[in-house]
Amino acid sequence: QTPAQPTRLGLCAACHGSTGHASMPGVPNLAGQQLDYLRDALKQYRDGRRNVPIMRAAIGPVSDAELDALARWYSAQSPQLQAHP
């Protein structure tokens, strides 16, 4: 069961893609990632334990409920084999 598309998805999709397949160098894929790992990572970016300014800026204003919806969305996406240059 795929969750409903989160209202804040566009914020993440610019770099991670709407289905969690990264489109930029240095950006991780999120599709199919473990839910608890994604949720913890987002909280760490939000409070600065993972000190990545663009992630802090993006996720800083996001509520716990929105954060949870984003983690669930990406965890529920199907991972796909990437092309490796």
Contact (Cβ atoms closer than 8 angstroms) between residue 32 and residue 77: yes
Taking the complex as a whole, the smallest distance from the CB of residue 72 to its own copies amounts, in Å, to 9
Question: Please, which residue, 37 or 57, has the CB nearer to its own copies?
Answer: 37
Q: Give residues in contact with its own copies (CB under 8 A).
A: 22, 25-29, 31-37, 40-41, 49-51, 75-76, 78-82, 84
Contact (Cβ atoms closer than 8 angstroms) between residue 23 and residue 83: no
Taking the complex as a whole, the smallest distance from the CB of residue 34 to its own copies amounts, in Å, to 6
Angle among Cα 35, 80, 42 to the nearest 5 degrees reads 30
